[in-house]
Amino acid sequence: MFADAATDANGVTYITFAGADPGTPGVTLRDPNRKWGHYDSELPVFANGVLLQGRLTVGGVNGDYVLRIKNFDVKGGLANGNNQGEVVSSVDYNTLKGGLYPAAYDYWLDFDSSGDVNSTDHNMFTAHMFHDCGNPMSP
């Protein structure tokens, strides 16, 4: 993966995981070739063998940010089966339905990060049914 643009005069480099325009480093511009999956919480970046610690904002402290990527393909590669990990399918839908209003909170099913798994999460999910990696915005 490449940085958004060259390192600036202050030694700052941006790597935007969704993709970026070199003219505006640090600002997301979706690159359909960049795909990240469920449960990715560490995407290490090394320069000359040294692990670089990132931050969420310019005013942050190095290492203060833990990347978590929620994905509507909630079963992903975790389930055995044809095309799992590549499409939002009925397997994922059944997982979400089983998690609606759960006794124990499920972070990975709370798509709007509201603290609850509810009808809002269900509506967000159903808008993505049958999307796949090759055509993420159309079934």
DSSP string, 36-62: --TT-----EEETTEEEP--SSTTS-T
Both 65 and 80 in one domain: the answer is no
pLDDT (0 to 100) of residue 139: 47
| Same structural domain, 12 and 52 | yes
Question: Is 4 in the same domain as 45?
Answer: yes
Same domain, 57 and 121: no
- Global pTM? 0.57
Q: Which of 21, 54, 69 is a domain's end point?
A: 69
Single residue among 24, 53, 69 that ends a domain in this structure: 69
d(CA 121, CA 24): 32
Shared domain for 111 and 61, answered yes or no, is no
Domains in the chain, number? 2
52 and 90 co-located in one domain = no
Query: Residue 100 is encoded by which pair of tokens?
Result: 């609606």
**Number of H helices and number of E strands within the chain?**
2, 2
Mark whether 15 and 61 lie in a shared domain.
yes
User: With a cut of 70, which residues of the chain have pLDDT below it?
Assistant: 32-43, 67, 76-86, 102-103, 133-139
Query: How confident is the model at residue 79, as a pLDDT?
Result: 47
Are 119 and 87 in a shared domain?
yes
pLDDT tens track for 2-36: 788 988 898 888 888 777 888 998 888 877 666 65
The reported pLDDT for the residue numbered 70 is: 78
What is the structure's pLDDT at 83? Answer: 47
Q: Are residues 44 and 80 located together in one domain of the fold?
A: no
Amino acid 118: pLDDT: 87
Domain match, 65 and 22 both: yes
- Say whether both 65 and 83 belong to one domain: no
Q: Domain of residue 56: give its range.
A: 1-69
